[in-house]
């Protein structure tokens, strides 16, 4: 059973005199432990698809089964619980919280999940160590470089041990060396079993995934061969 199963998913926005369609008839399965890249020109629906996958958007039609759960039947609270349990995000612009130190940024998702303090401490220390950012733990995000910030953002995403990591152009704001580090990190996480879906404009990084899903005007472009 795939981790993600989308059937005939459609997403549109009301517009004066009609609707604007951003996702059309999406059928997509993503297996547990897969690494998928989503590509396509601007406005193709990449971020919209990521938002549907990440349960950040629920105003769509069709069927979405995540890890055996019919997402469409869930109320907001259950949807949030599901999201909290299974999913984490990485954003192009890191979206760290400026007023919190590095370690506090890592601690926050655990707090939101009511993890006991002792365990939080251990997990934060563990991740700081693993991502080699112990020395930066007391700095504020604006005291870090972009690459370091994204590193912290990835650490913050995986600290909750998600099944699915959704990355929206994770390397988009970074120079090549920093981007490479982040991609290596994603591969490592994937090897450890985390399912990764990344939206990217970078063809080379996209190819590093097992599969590329190409979107065009909201449709999945089925004509192209998938790499893998």
Partner 1 sequence: MLDSLFQDIRYGVRALAARPGFALAALTTLALAIGANTLVFSLIDGIYLSPLPYRDDAKLVDIENQYRNMGLDATGASIPDYLDRREGMKSIVESGLFMGENFNLAIDGAPERAHGIRATPSLFATLGVAPALGRAFTDGEAEPGADRVVVLGDAMWRNRFGADPAIVGRDIRLDGESYRVVGVMPRGFMFPDRETALYVPFAFTPAQKADTERGHEFSTSIARLAPGATIADAENEANLVVRRNLDRLGSIGSDGTRFATFMKSAGFTIDVRPLRTLLAGDHSRMLLLLQLAVGLVLLIACANIANLMLTRLSARQKELSVRTALGASRSRLARQLLIEAVLLALAGAALGIVIAIAGQKLVAMSGLMPDWVALGIDLPVLAFTFAIAFAAGLLFGLAPMLSAGLAKPQQVLREAGRLGGGGRGARATRGALVVAQIALAIALLASAGLLVRSFANVLQESPGFDSRGVLTAAISLSPQKYPDDSAKANVIRRILESARALPGAAAVGLIDERPMSGAISGSSYRITGVATDATPHAFERTVDEDYFKAMGIPLIQGRTFESSDWTSANKVAVVDELFAKKRFPNGDAVGHVLDLDRPGVTGRQYTIVGVVGTTKNGDLGETVSQETFYLDYGQSPAGTLTLILRTAGPPGALVQPLREAVRSVDPEQPLFDVMTLDQRVHLSLTGRRVPMQLIGLFAALALVLAAIGIYGVLAFAVAQRTGEFGVRMAIGADAGRIRRQVLADGARLLLPGLAIGVAGAIALGFVLRSQLFGVGAIDVPSLGFVVAVLGAIALLACWVPARRAAKTAPLEALRYE
Q: Is 224 in the site for partner 1 (CB under 8 A)?
A: no
* CA-based nearest residue to 55, from 21, 88, 16: 88
Choosing from 65, 82, 108, 173, the residue that interacts with partner 1 (CB under 8 A) is 108
Question: Cβ 129 to partner 1, closest distance in Å?
Answer: 21
Q: Is 10 in the site for partner 1 (CB under 8 A)?
A: no
Q: Is 97 in the site for partner 1 (CB under 8 A)?
A: yes
Choosing from 89, 103, 131, 205, the residue that interacts with partner 1 (CB under 8 A) is 89
Q: Which is nearer to partner 1, 88 or 124 (CB)?
A: 88
Across 29-48, b (16+ Cβ under 10 Å) vs e yields: ebeeebbbbbbbeeebbbbb
- Asked if 11 and 59 touch (Cβ cutoff 8 Å), the reply is yes
Helix, strand, coil percentages in the chain from 3-state DSSP, rounded to 5: 40, 25, 35
Residues 143-182 that bind partner 1 (CB under 8 A): 156-157, 160
Provide the binding-site residues for partner 1, judged by CB under 8 A. 51, 54, 56-57, 77, 80, 83-84, 88-89, 91, 93, 95-98, 108-109, 112-113, 142, 156-157, 160
């Amino acid at each position: 059973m795939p981790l993600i199963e989308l059937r005939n998913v459609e997403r549109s926005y009301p517009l004066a005199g009609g609707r604007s369609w951003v996702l059309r008839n999406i059928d997509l399965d993503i297996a547990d432990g897969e690494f998928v890249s989503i590509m396509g020109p601007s406005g193709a629906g990449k971020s919209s698809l990521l938002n549907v996958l990440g349960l950040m958007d629920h105003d769509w039609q069709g069927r979405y089964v995540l890890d055996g759960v019919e997402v469409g039947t869930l109320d907001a609270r259950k949807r949030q619980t599901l999201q909290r349990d299974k999913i984490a995000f990485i954003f192009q612009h890191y979206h760290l919280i400026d007023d919190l130190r590095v370690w506090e940024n890592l601690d926050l998702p655990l707090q939101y999940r009511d993890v006991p303090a002792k365990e939080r401490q251990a997990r934060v220390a563990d991740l700081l160590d693993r991502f080699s950012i112990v020395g930066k733990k007391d700095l504020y995000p604006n005291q870090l470089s972009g690459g370091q910030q994204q590193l912290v953002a990835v650490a913050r995403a995986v600290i909750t041990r998600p099944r699915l990591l959704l990355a929206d152009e994770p390397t988009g704001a970074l120079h090549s060396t920093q981007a490479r580090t982040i991609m290596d990190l994603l591969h490592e996480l994937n090897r450890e079993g985390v399912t990764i879906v990344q939206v990217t404009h970078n063809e080379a990084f996209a190819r590093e995934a097992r599969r590329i899903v190409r979107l065009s005007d909201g449709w999945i472009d089925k004509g192209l061969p998938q790499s893998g």
